Structure 1
């Protein structure tokens, strides 16, 4: 969450950016016919409301503005969702009204502060607002962000969002945040030489749209071999593109999870991707380390995917509030 502070006559006026994760149906409800609903929300709240592009099952809704405009926008969204629930109930025999649910997208480095020592902060938020609050155990794919789900009455949700904003302003994100971007495909896809492949275990498998092309290339031959072997991943694609280099910077506090105990994880990534991976020594005064990946575009794409996957695997240590020693 980005924040800038501006001193105004009425005290501290803080501009915030909050990201929400919504399903297509929820986004449709927020946009409304010909965009009328979102236009009204923008005008009445004064907040900037942007909706991510793309034909994805999930979309990111970004709300930016001074805190009071953000709370107005949240209130309008929560009441709109409640209205949708009431409308859907008029056609069903259900008697108890389900709660309104919103999902925030929060940098993982701030989730510890939201949970609090031994879960104290999240418990306090639940008790004081009456809303249910849950912090996801895993990071969202290919990002360093986690979903925070809030459910309850619109009033409880608004109070809860206010408290979350306060915590996030007091504990800004640490290190670089890799934002979550919803993908149209349900499985990771890498591109190489104009072809798309999905990753399944240790294999790169042609993406369904590409099967016909690859079938023509690899007639009567093995469809794939484990990545990291010296034989071409797909017979017929022998003309491998020349090696290239890609550089990444990783925060120091995350480098350990990439390297693994005695280098086990980085060696595994090297073997699976077939790429050369060099990690620069820590520079004095720098909070980041440079990683250089060398190989074909396919090797590099796969190495990047595997490095991102490691970020998700290590979140268990942040998940269990009882293991936390700092608020």
Structure 2
């Protein structure tokens, strides 16, 4: 790493986000104390957590070297009783604003190639943005040492070319999963499955039995559409032109299916000259809208 970046970096606070699985509470506490970086782990019942590491660059590198070494320990531990002979590399997934990925890849892939060659780590920038965000996953794998060198170089790029425009941060699987009411029962959608949700079902049945309490749906954020008389609202989405075809489907078959399943009205605006996106307006009750969004 060149001196300029190190000197400039010491008093610059940088935030690096990465995706991890599982709970590592104790380890994190130790990492905070030893690295001096602020380390935050997203809450929620998702298998994926976002780990945010903020601090001067040297504190970040320290935290990363601890994470990389911890991952290597885990790999070694898992190999002691396995028959695999080749040791898998340590792999970390960073979450980087898409507006910075261009600088990271460089002209014709020159920068990412340079990082790969000088650090010996494998670096992959995902082609697609993470769901509902303007961030991309950057996967780094290699030995702990290669990973630390690689993170250093990525930090330099991120400091030299800050993100442009607003970044919509990636949040693993929405905490308030879309809710479907069918046959007097409430279901939340998780991945491909609809899971019965007893608490919501109770609330839903209460809402149906007691007309005097109709405002229930409006006063309880997080339970959209509990109330049968919820006023309709509308929600706008922008969808890239190259994806709109798969949402409309053959002769409109897909979009009609989404309209029927969600019970929402969906209007797709005509393409505007020079714009790479199409405006989609969804109208209906909050539950219908959240379901239509989910299906889209």
Normalised to the residue count of structure 2, the TM-score between the two structures is 0.68
How much has 1:297 moved relative to structure 2? 1.3
Partner of 2:17: 19
Cα shift readout 1:188-237 (whole Å, capped 9, x = no counterpart)? 94125683353999xxx853446xx69xx9xxxxxxxxxxxxxxxxxxx9
RMSD: 3.9
Aligned counterparts of 1:40 and 1:198: Cα–Cα separation in 2: 36
Residue equivalent to 1:198: 189
Which structure 1 segments of 5+ residues have no match? 1-9, 218-236, 283-287, 310-327
Could you tell me how far apart the structure 2 residues matched to 1:49 and 1:166 are? 20
Aligned twin of 1:169? 159
Find the partner of 2:195 among 190, 196, 207: 207
Structure 2 residue aligned with 1:245, among 233, 243, 247? 233
SS of match in other structure, 1:138:
coil
Matched residues in 1 for 2:282 and 2:166: separation? 19
1:183 counterpart = 2:173: yes
C-alpha distance in 2, partners of 1:58/1:154?
22
Change in CA separation of 1:256 and 1:241 when aligned onto 2, cut-off 3 Å: farther
Indicate the residue corresponding to 1:272 in structure 2. Answer: 258
Match of 1:156 among 105, 125, 146: 146
* Superposed displacement of residue 302, structure 1: 3.0
Residue 111 of structure 2 is matched in structure 1 by 121
How far off its partner does 1:277 sit?
Answer: 5.1
User: Is residue 78 from structure 1 mapped to residue 78 from structure 2 by the alignment?
Assistant: no
Q: Deviations over 1:155-195 (max 9, x none)?
A: 1101111111122233333333332222389xx94125683
Residues 66-145 of structure 1: pairs in structure 2 closer than 5 A: 66-145=56-135
- Structure 2 gaps, min length 5: 1-6, 206-224
1:93-149: CA deviations, max 9, x gaps?
433322111111122232232222322221111111000111223332333322111
Matched residue, 1:302: 291
